[in-house]
Structures are given as structure tokens and as C-alpha cells.
Chains A and B, each alone.
Chain A
């Protein structure tokens, strides 16, 4: 296992081994079209007879729909048809988002458009279809919909209290899910501890703000009974199943095509009622219907996430040894659990991940997941990780402070040893191999801690307050069916790749994982080029089409490289074997004595060129008559991969953040940021590094700026990009990325996920940095986002 020759492993420079693409910074072949404006996003697709949908969305957080009068709307020029919930229910079934392995979980049936009640402000209520989006919006403006406002359950803290508004009376209460994990004797450990420190943390409600909004075109063809869906999505096969099931069709009648996607981050892996409505309307109209969410709709209907209040305690002994964590997490998820992944996963992840990097004996963590009348929440980049990391690392820093220990030393004493694996965490997570201490060591090589501490002291003397914060983290990647499949969701944890060689010696790989901009197609090309032995420019990649690719799960939970990449590698190796078998026959040589280098079959011992792949292609495809009759010549090979030994391939890393807090204004300037992460085998450092940086910026954005703010009536106040603040270039720091590589032994490739590490650790590191800066002034912040107002409050200024 893991014996792929890389330049490093055989002591060669990358230039000496042109055939090895694993670990090389190969530029992405997709980028030229992106920077020249020649990509194809869903909104760029125009179909004959296409009409456009717009939705009337609920102005109330909770209201009964009394009546819908479409008379005036139907008179608006260009308007084709108006659809209500009842209209769509005739062709479309509701769904309930629960997973069987999340014991006791409950949620209510959700229709594409509600039949009688609006349950969040922004919920799609009535659809208008017209010959242009503008005309459809005019039609929406002309609708007369009467609502009878109902009391809204907005605050998650009161969702289970007596007197709460029960959002779905048939459920009995607003409790969706509750789980407690217990290990050891928490009460005894805390009672006997040298120090116990506690704090309450709040993580603000966020949303993904993909620059390309959710986009879909559904095209039902009555003539052949097929539904073709062009969609900006992470999971084409999952959506194929969803559309078929809800619209009472066969899966084979549905094709989902996904070309370029303008960012997803988990936002585009869920079932949205407005998108299912579009499919249902196309089913009824028998013509293509396009819907592209505008920015208001994105804020009011894309899933939100991270709306948690966490009370945490940590117990330590006099030597700084962590004795236990005791954590209580509460999260509000909106009025429905989101289909099909459910909205209980984020809280469940908090339970799985708190304390994750550390070796300690006693653990108790409860998550309570409740309903409320806000936008539904669900999985968003690094699901639960930034919450668990901020809580864990916030508590570790507070404990270090309480016993007067340096925070780095505190971590050195408690991080799980690098030789302790396999290791099962108190939360029950199984780690195959992590590198916390090697990562910390690497981080300390990158971060000039002594210089920083000297600068900090000198600056403090001038009244300038700077702080350094660190945060270790673990990240769950390469999920097995234990994530969704065992709960009954038809979400594939397996993925496949088909690799073929065409007559000209070029190679095509079709994969079930998808490209969202992270570079999936680039690494698949690298892996296949490496596996077959061709120049990377000779590999073309097909993704994002349920009709053209092997069945797979798509892009989520950091699985593209680790799962899809391994399937591609295995199928590439199978193709290579097949090519060498044929070449051996042609050359009357033992296939084992041959190799393929840069598209040429060579003698393994001497490197002498024997025959080109294009010549083999010519002979096999056009002069097969010249070859022995029984020679197998399958230049198309398909392999699938699924992890089997571990439910998840955990990764780890550690981040450091260096900030300056303007204590007069409360403004935080991030001066510099570092991240060391171990995603196993790094396939393309260029892609991994900038993806880690992007993740860090998303984490910093969430911790400093981003917040879906509601008033106490459930009205969303942040509905524009002038109100929901995202991180921009001017405020973001220079970010240094380092790697430790601990390949997983579950696959030949050894790759784990890298997409969420940045987001997982950045908020915790930033929080600790701010608190390090504020420490001499006696202030502490634990509620994100860390706004100027929150910092001025912490300092007692206001």
C-alpha cells in the first residue's frame, strides 16, 4: 500500500520524473476559460421555449395563507402561468428529512410550495412563470396573497419552553433531535480537578453567499417522458434520485447536468423547495423552466448554518493535563430539517468533534436541535468543525490562563501523541493516523513566536494591543455510508471512475465526483496521467452528468480527492495493465518488463522507447484484425472505491493568527495567519494551498463580519451584501500554509480531504488571538462575530 513512487520517495526532483504528477503544482486546465469569461454556468444555458420563474416569498416568519388571487398577475404582459402549493401537490410529493441512525429525530413533511402555512420569512409561497425573469417578477408584484400572521418562534432558547409556539403541532413540540455522548466519569473528574473553567460561546448564523446564486433549468419532454435538469449542484446523482422520487418518475427518466458551478460550499447539496417547484412546473408545462435565485432570495432561502449557543467547561490538573470536557450545545435549525441530509448533522458533529485533538478521559456533550421560524439551516462548509474547534480551543486557552501556562505548552502536553494511533477519541471517533505534534512543530517553524512575543510586549508599551492565538483541529473527510447511507438516505459514499484511451492515445476520465472550482478535474487529470503514464495535457475529464459518468456521490464532506481520486487511480492502473498486455503482445515482450512514460511504452530496465500509445490505439481500433483473436483489448476500465476500514478519514492541523485590536474603536485587523494541515497525500500543492487559504478567509469572515441578523419577529435584517458583510481583499491577511503528510492506508493514493481545514480552525485561532490581545485589559470575547461593538462591550467601553 502507498507505494506510489513520488519524486520525493525515490529521491528525484520533480523535473527528473515528468511522469509523476502526484504532488506537483500542475496548473488547472479549467482556469483559462474562467478568466476569459468562457465558462458555462447554468444561467448561461438558454433553451428553446424556455420560461422563467419568480416566487412570491412569505413576508412573515409564520402565517396562515388565507387566499391567493392571481387574476391581476395573469394580466401582466409575459406571464404564462401561476402555481400554488395545491397545483404542485398534484404532481409532486412532499418529503421528510430524517435519518434513521439519528435516534428519535423528527421533522414535518415539506412541499415545494406550502399548502396552507408559511413558516419562515422568505419561504416560496406562489410561483409565477413568464417569458422573462423581469416579467415574472412583475407578475409576482401583481399577486394578491392574503396572510394571517401567526406567533413566530424565533428564539431557540425558548423553543422547548412552556408557551413556545409549536411550529408543527403534529410533532408535539419543537424538538428535532437530542443526543448525549458520555465517556468516563465527568462529574467525578470535574469535582476532583485542580481547576475548572467555563464559558458560553455563540456562533453567529451564517450563510454561504456563493457568488453564483442557486440556478436551475428543468426541462420535461412529454414526447419521451424525460426530465433533463441543468443545475448548479454538488451532487447530480443525488438530485437525479430526488427529482425522480418526488415527481413520481423513474430514476432512469431523469438526467442531471451540471457544467460550471460558481461556488457551492455545501449550499448546493441540499433540496430546495423552489428548485423542486421548478421541476414540477416543467413537468406540468412540458417546457423548460429556468430559475436563478437573486441575492435577496439567496439570503432568505439558501440554507443558513452555525446558529449555536454552547456552554462549555474544561477540567485540568495542576500540570495542565486536561481531565475532561463537559459541553452543552443548542442549535436552532428553522422550521424544517433540510432534505435529505437533515439539519441534525451539524449539532451531531459538535458532539463528535469537541475535544477532538486532545487525549483526555472524561467527556460529556449534548446537542439539542430545535425548530424555529427562521431560514432552515443545514450543512455548510466544515459542518460543525469551526464550532467545535472554537469551543475546544477557547476552553483550552482559558484553562492555560487559569493555571498560568503558556498556551503552546498546554497543547504540547495534551495533544494526542503521534505514535498513539489507531486511537479512539472520547467522543467515539476512530483515528487511523494523525500528526498533531508534527504539525505543531512545523507551525512553530513557520511562526516566529519569539519575535511576535517581543513585538507584542513592545507594542503594548505603546498602547497598541496585538495578540497571537492558536487552534488545533481535526477534520472529518472521506465519509463512508456511516454518514448518511445507514440512515436511509440515497446518498452514495462510493464513487466511480471510467478511464478510456482513444485511438490518438489521449485518455478520457469520467467521474462521479464534481467540479465546484476546487480543482477536482485538475487532480483527476493528474491522477489519471500518473496512473496511465501519459502527459497530463492528454487527459480530458468529464464530470457533472448523470448520463455520462459512473454513479457517485459528488462533492461533499471533502471526498473528491480521497474517494473520487482513488477510483480514478484504480481505473487508470487497470487501463495501464490492459495497455501493457496489448503492448506486450505487439512487442513480443513480457508486459512486466514494460512501462508507460509520457504516452510511450518503454522498456522498464533501459527506458528505451518501444511503441507509442497512439500507435497502439491505431492498431487496436482500426487494425484489430492483426492481433491475436483471444487478446483482451478493453481500453475502457471502470473502478469504484469506498472506504471500508474507518467510517471517516480524519485529518488534522493547527492554525495561528496574529491580530491587532484597535481598543479605541473595537476594530480587529488580522496581521498574519498560518496553517499547517495534514490532508494525507497532497496531490497538487498549488490547489490545496489556495483552497486552505480560501477556507481560512471564509472562517475569518464568519468570525469577524458575517451574520444573518433577525429581529424578534423573525424578520431577516441582513438581506443585501451591504448588510451581510463578507470578507474582502483589503482586510484579509497574508496566509502561510504548510503541510505534514500522513497518507491514509485505506487507499493507494493516500489522499484525505483538504477543503474544510481552513474554515475549521480559523475562527478559534482568531478568537484566541483577540483574547490574547485583550488579556491585559481584562476583556474576553466568546460570541461571534467579533464586531467592534462586541469588543467595546468586552472592554467595558460601552
Chain B
């Protein structure tokens, strides 16, 4: 049986990236980076992870801050969920993220948890990984070897797996700014407020004046090993006028996009069903008033 008190660990505080690289060099693979700790420390309590040393990166200024420049919103990895939820730049350039924040756990968790931590942990039922994929974000990774950029959809590689290499951390997330044509929504079905979703959908697309869909990205969470970009459903929508028939086509196409596992909440067919329901609920918001009434 598992135990509750955290196992014996060491603690190193890094106050700069240089500090961090030095600490990583000293401790190698037995070290784990500590950001907000809202997932990592819970896994320590379950003794699901067993790092020898925690390297606290929360005081590294270079990993903080939110800025918008040249049509790109850059969000520092240490940005806490609560900050994300109230930041005016986020609200303006990536409103989907602001909409997602209230769905993440509870206020006390949101005051501590960070976007970098959430993405690095890559829980398949978490909201932010799905959002960044839906938004077509770029994840900025840093290590002693320098910086590299990975498209969000390539960053999540499997159950709790990411493109992060040993010694690498998430430095920031870069997102294309929303335009007047951008439509985004996040919807989920969770047993209780703040619970991980049984199924969720972060959806982004563009609508032109005629109501034609461009660049649709439907990203499901809680239904696979990570955020699932529904390519077939997207293809069913692209170039079509958004109406009930188009949504129906996207729902049909999900059969090929999703292969959900069973979990404590129900069988795969329930998750498939919920994904179809969520598709209707998310895309239904973008319908013109005449269609909604229909």
C-alpha cells in the first residue's frame, strides 16, 4: 500500500536559469523540477514519483511574465492559473485560456499551479494541454543546450509523456493572437465542479462573414492518452458553412478520431458519446442566431 508522508528528498533553490543548469548537472536524472507543485507534490504523497532532489524554479524571473508582441502572446511558464484567469492580455489575445481557468480545480490550487507545470505533467484530462493544442501554440523549451520550439500538438507524445528531453524545461508558451474571426470555446463534463473532466473539448476555428469555417481545431481531453486533436472532425468542418449539418458531420467523423480508454467513470462508448455531445455544445455556440432557433 502507498504511504502519505513525502519520501526523503533534497531541495535546491534555483534563482536563475544558470543556477538551474548547474543544479541539473550536479544531480542528473534523479532531480525533478518543482514549479507550482500542485500535481508533483500530490504524486509525492502517493509516492508515485520518487525524485531524489527537487529543484525549485519558482524564483527564476526569466520564466515569468506575459507579453504580447507582433501578433504573438507569450506566457511565461511560471504563470499561475489565477494570473492567467485575470490577465487582460490573455483575455484579449487568448480568451480561451481565461475561459478555461475556472474549470481548473479550485481557487487555492489555481493560486499555486502554473501553466508550465500543467503542460509538463500532461495529464490527459487536464484543460490547459488541450487549450494550447487548440490554439496552435508553440511550446518554448529551454535547457543548458539552449532554446527550442515545439508545436503544441507535437509536444504531447503519450500518457503523461511529452517532448521534454532530460534537462529541459518549459520556458514559455507562445500563441497566435485571436482575431475578430476567431471563435473558441471550452466545454467539459465533470462529476463535480473542479474535478478532472470525464470528457472535455477545447475548440477553435475561424468564421468568415459568410459563416464558413477555416482552420478548425477540435481538441478533446479526458478521452485519450493526452489531448486529442480530432483531425477527421476538423476536416468535416473545414470550408463548410457552420450549421447543424456541419456539426453533425463533425460528430460522425469523431468515430475515427477517438479511441478512448475505459476509466472509473464509464466505458469507452460513454466517452465517445460525451465527445459528440460536447461537439454540439461547443460548436453550437458559434451558430448564427437563426440556426440556434432552428
A contacts B: CB pair < 8 Å: yes
Q: Which of B65-73, B162-170, B173-181, B269-277 contacts A (4 or more CB under 8 A)?
A: B269-277
Residue B192 at the chain A interface, CB threshold 8 Å: yes
Whether A725 and B2, one on each chain, are in contact in the complex, defined by CB atoms closer than 8 angstroms, is no
Whether B191 and A725, one on each chain, are in contact in the complex, defined by CB atoms closer than 8 angstroms, is yes
Task: Please report which residues of chain A, range 56-73, place their CB below 8 angstroms from some CB of chain B when the two chains form the complex.
Answer: 56-59
Taking CB atoms, residues of chain B closer than 8 Å to A605 are none
- Give the distance in Å from the alpha carbon of A788 to the alpha carbon of B271 in the complex: 11
Chain A nearest CB, measured from B116 CB (Å)? 22
- Give the distance in Å from the alpha carbon of A2 to the alpha carbon of B118 in the complex: 64
Contact string against B for A residues 20-60, beta-carbon threshold 8 Å, 1 for contact and 0 otherwise: 00000000000000000000000000000000001011110
- Give the distance in Å from the alpha carbon of A133 to the alpha carbon of B6 in the complex: 11
- Give the distance in Å from the alpha carbon of A664 to the alpha carbon of B280 in the complex: 11
Taking CB atoms, residues of chain A closer than 8 Å to B191 are 705, 725, 787-788
- Give the distance in Å from the alpha carbon of A294 to the alpha carbon of B4 in the complex: 7
Taking CB atoms, residues of chain B closer than 8 Å to A787 are 191, 265-266
Task: Please report which residues of chain B, range 187-232, place their CB below 8 angstroms from some CB of chain A when the two chains form the complex.
Answer: 189, 191-196, 198
- Give the distance in Å from the alpha carbon of A152 to the alpha carbon of B154 in the complex: 45
Whether B193 and A731, one on each chain, are in contact in the complex, defined by CB atoms closer than 8 angstroms, is yes
Chain A nearest CB, measured from B215 CB (Å)? 28
Whether A665 and B189, one on each chain, are in contact in the complex, defined by CB atoms closer than 8 angstroms, is yes
Residue B267 at the chain A interface, CB threshold 8 Å: yes
Contact A798:B269 (CB < 8 A) given known A665-B277, A720-B46, A728-B192: yes
Task: Please report which residues of chain B, range 1-26, place their CB below 8 angstroms from some CB of chain A when the two chains form the complex.
Answer: 1-8
Task: Please report which residues of chain A, range 131-150, place their CB below 8 angstroms from some CB of chain B when the two chains form the complex.
Answer: 133-134, 137-138, 140-141
Taking CB atoms, residues of chain B closer than 8 Å to A134 are 5-6
Residue A421 at the chain B interface, CB threshold 8 Å: no
Taking CB atoms, residues of chain B closer than 8 Å to A54 are 3
Contact A141:B2 (CB < 8 A) given known A788-B265, A788-B270: no
Chain B nearest CB, measured from A557 CB (Å)? 31
Residue B264 at the chain A interface, CB threshold 8 Å: yes
Residue A535 at the chain B interface, CB threshold 8 Å: no
Chain B nearest CB, measured from A124 CB (Å)? 10
Taking CB atoms, residues of chain B closer than 8 Å to A667 are 189
Residue A284 at the chain B interface, CB threshold 8 Å: no
Residue A296 at the chain B interface, CB threshold 8 Å: yes
Contact A300:B273 (CB < 8 A) given known A138-B8, A717-B264, A730-B193: no
- Give the distance in Å from the alpha carbon of A664 to the alpha carbon of B198 in the complex: 14
Taking CB atoms, residues of chain A closer than 8 Å to B264 are 709, 717-718, 723
Taking CB atoms, residues of chain A closer than 8 Å to B5 are 133-134, 137, 294
Taking CB atoms, residues of chain A closer than 8 Å to B8 are 138
Interface size class, chain A: 35 or more
Residue A195 at the chain B interface, CB threshold 8 Å: no
Contact string against A for B residues 83-126, beta-carbon threshold 8 Å, 1 for contact and 0 otherwise: 00000000000000000000000000000000000000000000
Contact A797:B273 (CB < 8 A) given known A731-B193, A789-B267: yes
Taking CB atoms, residues of chain B closer than 8 Å to A58 are 1
Taking CB atoms, residues of chain A closer than 8 Å to B195 are 722, 725
Chain A nearest CB, measured from B219 CB (Å)? 19
Taking CB atoms, residues of chain A closer than 8 Å to B3 are 54, 137, 140-141, 294, 296
Contact A57:B1 (CB < 8 A) given known A788-B191, A788-B266, A797-B273: yes
Q: Taking chain B's interface residues, is the majority helix, strand, or loop, or is none over half, making it mixed?
A: loop
Beta-carbon nearest neighbor of A140 in chain B: B3
Chain B nearest CB, measured from A205 CB (Å)? 14
Residue A110 at the chain B interface, CB threshold 8 Å: no
Whether B193 and A788, one on each chain, are in contact in the complex, defined by CB atoms closer than 8 angstroms, is no
Per a CB cutoff under 8 Å, which of A295, A300, A720, A788 touches B198?
A788
Taking CB atoms, residues of chain A closer than 8 Å to B192 are 705, 725, 727-728, 730-731
Taking CB atoms, residues of chain B closer than 8 Å to A296 are 1-4
Chain B nearest CB, measured from A363 CB (Å)? 38
Residue A699 at the chain B interface, CB threshold 8 Å: no
- Give the distance in Å from the alpha carbon of A717 to the alpha carbon of B196 in the complex: 17
- Give the distance in Å from the alpha carbon of A500 to the alpha carbon of B270 in the complex: 65
Beta-carbon nearest neighbor of B190 in chain A: A667
Contact A295:B4 (CB < 8 A) given known A667-B189, A731-B193, A797-B273: yes
Taking CB atoms, residues of chain A closer than 8 Å to B269 are 798
- Give the distance in Å from the alpha carbon of A58 to the alpha carbon of B194 in the complex: 33
Residue A122 at the chain B interface, CB threshold 8 Å: yes
Beta-carbon nearest neighbor of B3 in chain A: A137
Task: Please report which residues of chain A, range 325-368, place their CB below 8 angstroms from some CB of chain B when the two chains form the complex.
Answer: none
Task: Please report which residues of chain A, range 764-798, place their CB below 8 angstroms from some CB of chain B when the two chains form the complex.
Answer: 787-789, 792, 797-798
Taking CB atoms, residues of chain B closer than 8 Å to A792 are 266, 270, 273
Taking CB atoms, residues of chain B closer than 8 Å to A720 are 46
Contact A789:B46 (CB < 8 A) given known A665-B189, A705-B192, A728-B192: no
Taking CB atoms, residues of chain B closer than 8 Å to A57 are 1
Beta-carbon nearest neighbor of A730 in chain B: B193
- Give the distance in Å from the alpha carbon of A720 to the alpha carbon of B264 in the complex: 13
- Give the distance in Å from the alpha carbon of A792 to the alpha carbon of B5 in the complex: 40
Residue A719 at the chain B interface, CB threshold 8 Å: yes
Beta-carbon nearest neighbor of B262 in chain A: A789
- Give the distance in Å from the alpha carbon of A140 to the alpha carbon of B6 in the complex: 13
Contact A664:B277 (CB < 8 A) given known A137-B4, A296-B1, A731-B192: yes
- Give the distance in Å from the alpha carbon of A727 to the alpha carbon of B193 in the complex: 10
- Give the distance in Å from the alpha carbon of A709 to the alpha carbon of B273 in the complex: 23
Taking CB atoms, residues of chain B closer than 8 Å to A665 are 189, 274, 277
Whether A798 and B2, one on each chain, are in contact in the complex, defined by CB atoms closer than 8 angstroms, is no
Chain B nearest CB, measured from A786 CB (Å)? 12
Task: Please report which residues of chain A, range 689-708, place their CB below 8 angstroms from some CB of chain B when the two chains form the complex.
Answer: 705
Contact A798:B46 (CB < 8 A) given known A730-B193, A788-B198: no
Whether A788 and B267, one on each chain, are in contact in the complex, defined by CB atoms closer than 8 angstroms, is no
Beta-carbon nearest neighbor of B276 in chain A: A664
Enumerate 30 A-B pairs (CB-CB under 8 Å) in ascending A order. Answer: A54-B3, A121-B1, A141-B3, A141-B7, A294-B3, A294-B5, A295-B4, A296-B1, A664-B277, A666-B270, A667-B189, A705-B192, A709-B264, A717-B264, A718-B264, A719-B2, A720-B46, A722-B195, A728-B192, A728-B194, A730-B192, A730-B194, A731-B192, A787-B191, A787-B265, A788-B265, A788-B266, A788-B270, A789-B265, A798-B273
Binding site for B on A (CB under 8 A): 54, 56-59, 121-122, 133-134, 137-138, 140-141, 294-297, 300, 664-667, 705, 709, 717-720, 722-723, 725, 727-728, 730-731, 787-789, 792, 797-798
A-B pairs with lowest CB-CB distance, top 7? A789-B266, A294-B4, A730-B193, A134-B5, A57-B1, A137-B3, A798-B269
Binding site for A on B (CB under 8 A): 1-8, 46, 189, 191-196, 198, 264-267, 269-270, 273-274, 277
Other contacts beyond A725-B192, A792-B273: 5, CB < 8 A: A137-B5, A140-B3, A720-B46, A723-B264, A798-B269
